[in-house]
Amino acid sequence: MTPKSVAVAGATGLVGRQMLEMLDERNYPIKNLKLLASARSKGRTLTFKGEELPVEVLAEDSFKGVEVALFSAGGGTSKKFAPCAAKDGCVVVDNSSAWRMDPEVPLVVPEVNPDDVKWHKGIIANPNCSTIQMVVALKPLHDAARLERVVVSTYQAVSGAGKDAVEELKAQTRDILDGKPAQPKVFPHQIAFNCIPQIPQSAAFIENGYSTEEMKMINETKKIMGDDRIRVTATTVRVPVFNGHSESVNIETEKKLTAAQARELLARAPGVVVQDDLEAQQYPLATVATGRGETFVGRIREDLSHPRGLCFWVVSDNLLKGAALNAVQIAELL
């Protein structure tokens, strides 16, 4: 690949820092690197490949001369600044929800729909973290037997809600073990030793009773898979895990797939690691997935309630494959 002039917007956040790590780890060819964040980060520096780089304040003219920009700075920021970057000839890979369902913007998971990057008009959307790991596992099964219906329940780590959420789980855990009351600030309820069926933590629910996170999974899955006929329903839950999202997935297919056939298809699929040895108590775990870029699938079994149903368990690092790694993989496709 030809070295590129690269910018990372939201460089000081959890995902922004992971983007920098992925650019370094995967040896993405960088001619020069610009770190951008809000005015709160003015004066800070971050280390990249042993060099201290200044963090600049994100502005409309920040992208002159930049060829690829990775955004993880929130939907409002992306709505404002991504068009500015595209206007200056930069290709934006955006991690927020701002552009995902825009019909003019590709929504890409490289293992699933890499060719969609070809029709970008300056902005490419990175899907929701929970959607990404699920469609990586669904793709080979859909190709083999066509999905008719997907039912998913998620068990999502607090790192998906940002640095403050991670600190809140730490603080509440200490307080409760010390006999003190939990003090919810980021989440609407105590997250330590609890499960909260509300994502995101504010303004989550819409008129149909689904949360906005659940609707993201429903709509994004259809767009990425390129098949509006797939019926999808989701329940998303925040759990007291620091990192790594887990999902219970149930599918119905047009053609019958046995559990053995599904294991074989998944074992050959790009980006998938099958961990499915029940005798050895081997199955995907958030503790194992953390720090890894693959999507782990296990507990693969035939649904006893449906002749063409399968159940399985999907786990991935939400900050890596669910965000930063997927964005860098898209940049590599470019």
* Cα 245 from Cα 16, distance rounded (Å): 18
Find the DSSP H helices in the chain. Answer: 14-25, 75-87, 129-145, 163-177, 212-225, 259-268, 286-289, 325-333
Q: Please tell me whether the peptide bond between 200 and the residue prior to it is cis, using omega within 30 degrees of 0.
A: yes
Q: Which of 90, 120, 142, 245 is catalytic?
A: 245
* Cα 93 from Cα 99, distance rounded (Å): 10
Q: Is 195 a catalytic residue?
A: no
Residue 320 has phi, psi (to 5 degrees) of -95, -90
Q: How far is CA 265 from the centre of its chain?
A: 23
Q: Annotate 54-73 with DSSP letters as a single string.
A: EEEEP-TTTTTT-SEEEE-S
Residues near 277 by beta carbon (within 8 Å), at least 6 away in sequence? 283
Q: Is 129 a catalytic residue?
A: yes
Q: Which of 90, 120, 129, 142 is catalytic?
A: 129
Cβ(217)–Cβ(232) below 8 Å: yes
* Cα 331 from Cα 20, distance rounded (Å): 13
Catalytic residues, by residue number, are 129, 245
